[in-house]
Chains A and B, each alone.
Chain A
Amino acid sequence: MSQRILIVEDEEAIALGLQLNLERDGFVTELAVDGEVALSMIETWNPDLVLLDVMLPKLSGFDVCDRVRKSGNRVPILFVTAKDMVGDRVKGLELGGDDYITKPFSMDELRLRIRAMLRRQQWYESTPEQGDVVEFGGNKVDLSAYRATTRDGVVTMTQKETMVLKLLIENEGRVIDRGTILNRVWGEEMYPSARTVDNIILNLRRRFEVDPKNPKHIFTHYGAGYSFQR
Chain B
Amino acid sequence: MTPFWKKIRPRSRLLLFLFLSTFIAAQVSWWVIYQVRTAERVETLQNEVWEREIRVADRLIARHEAVTDSMAALLSTLFEDLEYSHDLNGVVVKAEARKRLASETTDVARMFAMESMTFLIIILAGMIYMYVTLRREIQVERQYANFLSAVTHELRSPIAAMRLLMESLQGDLTPDQRDRVLLNMNRSLDRLHGLIDRLLTTREFVGQRRPLRELNVVDLGKHTRRVLDELYAHHPVAAGRLQVSVAPSLPARIHSGHWGILVSNLVDNALKYSDSEQPVRVDVSRKGSRVVLTVADMGEGFSHSERQRIFKRFYRIGEEDTRTAEGSGLGLYLVREIARSFRGDVSAHSDGPGQGATFTVRVPLAKE
Chain B window 48-86, contacts with chain A (Cβ cutoff 8 Å), 1 for yes, 0 for no: 000000000000000000000000000000000000000
Residue pair A107, B157 in contact (C-beta under 8 Å): no
Chain A window 82-116, contacts with chain B (Cβ cutoff 8 Å), 1 for yes, 0 for no: 11110000000000000000111111000000000
Complex formed: what's the CA distance from A21 to B160 in Å? 13
- Which chain B residues (152-176) contact chain A, with CB distance < 8 Å? 152-153, 156-165, 167-168, 171, 173
Complex formed: what's the CA distance from A147 to B167 in Å? 44
Residue pair B322, A58 in contact (C-beta under 8 Å): yes
Please indicate the chain A residues that have their CB under 8 angstroms from the CB of B177 in the complex.
20
Question: Smallest CB–CB gap between A77 and chain B, Å?
Answer: 15
* Residue of A35, A84, A104 most packed against chain B (CB within 10 A): A104
What are 15 A-to-B residue pairs whose CB atoms are below 8 Å?
A11-B161, A12-B184, A13-B165, A16-B161, A20-B164, A20-B181, A21-B164, A55-B321, A57-B324, A60-B321, A82-B152, A82-B153, A84-B152, A103-B156, A105-B160
Please indicate the chain B residues that have their CB under 8 angstroms from the CB of A24 in the complex.
168, 171
Chain B CB within 8 A of A223 CB? no
Contact of B158 among A13, A16, A57, A105 (CB under 8 A): A13
Please indicate the chain A residues that have their CB under 8 angstroms from the CB of B326 in the complex.
11
Range class of the B interface residue count: 20 to 34
Chain B CB within 8 A of A17 CB? yes
Residue pair B168, A21 in contact (C-beta under 8 Å): yes
Residue pair A20, B156 in contact (C-beta under 8 Å): no
Chain A CB within 8 A of B303 CB? no
Question: Which single residue of chain B is at the shortest CB-CB distance from A56?
Answer: B322
Chain B CB within 8 A of A76 CB? no
Complex formed: what's the CA distance from A54 to B323 in Å? 10
- Which chain A residues (1-35) contact chain B, with CB distance < 8 Å? 10-14, 16-18, 20-21, 24, 35
Please indicate the chain A residues that have their CB under 8 angstroms from the CB of B152 in the complex.
82-84
Chain B CB within 8 A of A59 CB? yes
Residue pair B321, A61 in contact (C-beta under 8 Å): yes
* Residue of A20, A35, A59, A83 most packed against chain B (CB within 10 A): A20
Complex formed: what's the CA distance from A100 to B258 in Å? 40
A103 and B159 in contact (CB under 8 A), knowing A13-B165, A17-B165?
Answer: yes
* Residue of B158, B167, B321 most packed against chain A (CB within 10 A): B321
Chain A CB within 8 A of B320 CB? yes
Instruction: Give the 6 A-B residue pairs with the shortest CB-CB distance, closest first.
Output: A17-B164, A60-B321, A13-B161, A103-B160, A104-B160, A20-B168
A60 and B184 in contact (CB under 8 A), knowing A84-B152, A106-B163?
Answer: no
Residue pair B188, A13 in contact (C-beta under 8 Å): yes
Name B's interface SS.
helix
Chain B CB within 8 A of A62 CB? yes
Complex formed: what's the CA distance from A41 to B181 in Å? 25
Residue pair A16, B153 in contact (C-beta under 8 Å): no
* Residue of A17, A85, A104 most packed against chain B (CB within 10 A): A17
Chain A CB within 8 A of B180 CB? yes
Question: Smallest CB–CB gap between B319 and chain A, Å?
Answer: 7
A104 and B156 in contact (CB under 8 A), knowing A13-B187, A14-B161, A17-B167?
Answer: yes
* Residue of A84, A85, A103, A105 most packed against chain B (CB within 10 A): A103
Contact of B165 among A10, A16, A56, A61 (CB under 8 A): A16
Please indicate the chain A residues that have their CB under 8 angstroms from the CB of B153 in the complex.
55, 82-83
Please indicate the chain B residues that have their CB under 8 angstroms from the CB of A18 in the complex.
164
Please indicate the chain B residues that have their CB under 8 angstroms from the CB of A85 in the complex.
149
Please indicate the chain A residues that have their CB under 8 angstroms from the CB of B160 in the complex.
14, 17, 82, 103-105
A103 and B157 in contact (CB under 8 A), knowing A55-B321, A55-B322?
Answer: yes
Question: Smallest CB–CB gap between A228 and chain B, Å?
Answer: 41
Chain B window 316-356, contacts with chain A (Cβ cutoff 8 Å), 1 for yes, 0 for no: 00011111101000000000000000000000000000000
Question: Smallest CB–CB gap between A48 and chain B, Å?
Answer: 20
Please indicate the chain B residues that have their CB under 8 angstroms from the CB of A107 in the complex.
164, 167
Contact of A82 among B157, B163, B322 (CB under 8 A): B157
Residue pair A20, B173 in contact (C-beta under 8 Å): yes
Please indicate the chain A residues that have their CB under 8 angstroms from the CB of B188 in the complex.
13
Residue pair B184, A13 in contact (C-beta under 8 Å): yes
Residue pair B157, A11 in contact (C-beta under 8 Å): yes
Please indicate the chain B residues that have their CB under 8 angstroms from the CB of A21 in the complex.
164, 167-168, 171
Question: Which single residue of chain B is at the shortest CB-CB distance from A25?
Answer: B171
Complex formed: what's the CA distance from A11 to B188 in Å? 10
Please indicate the chain B residues that have their CB under 8 angstroms from the CB of A61 in the complex.
321
Question: Smallest CB–CB gap between B98 and chain A, Å?
Answer: 74
- Given A12-B184, A16-B161, A83-B152: 15 more A-B contacts, CB < 8 Å: A13-B162, A16-B165, A16-B168, A17-B163, A17-B164, A17-B167, A21-B168, A57-B323, A58-B322, A59-B322, A60-B321, A63-B322, A82-B157, A84-B152, A103-B160
Chain A CB within 8 A of B220 CB? no
Chain A CB within 8 A of B185 CB? yes
Complex formed: what's the CA distance from A213 to B177 in Å? 63
Question: Which single residue of chain A is at the shortest CB-CB distance from B319?
Answer: A60
Please indicate the chain A residues that have their CB under 8 angstroms from the CB of B181 in the complex.
16-17, 20
Complex formed: what's the CA distance from A107 to B170 in Å? 12
Question: Which single residue of chain B is at the shortest CB-CB distance from A60?
Answer: B321
- Which chain A residues (34-62) contact chain B, with CB distance < 8 Å? 35, 54-62
Complex formed: what's the CA distance from A176 to B304 in Å? 62
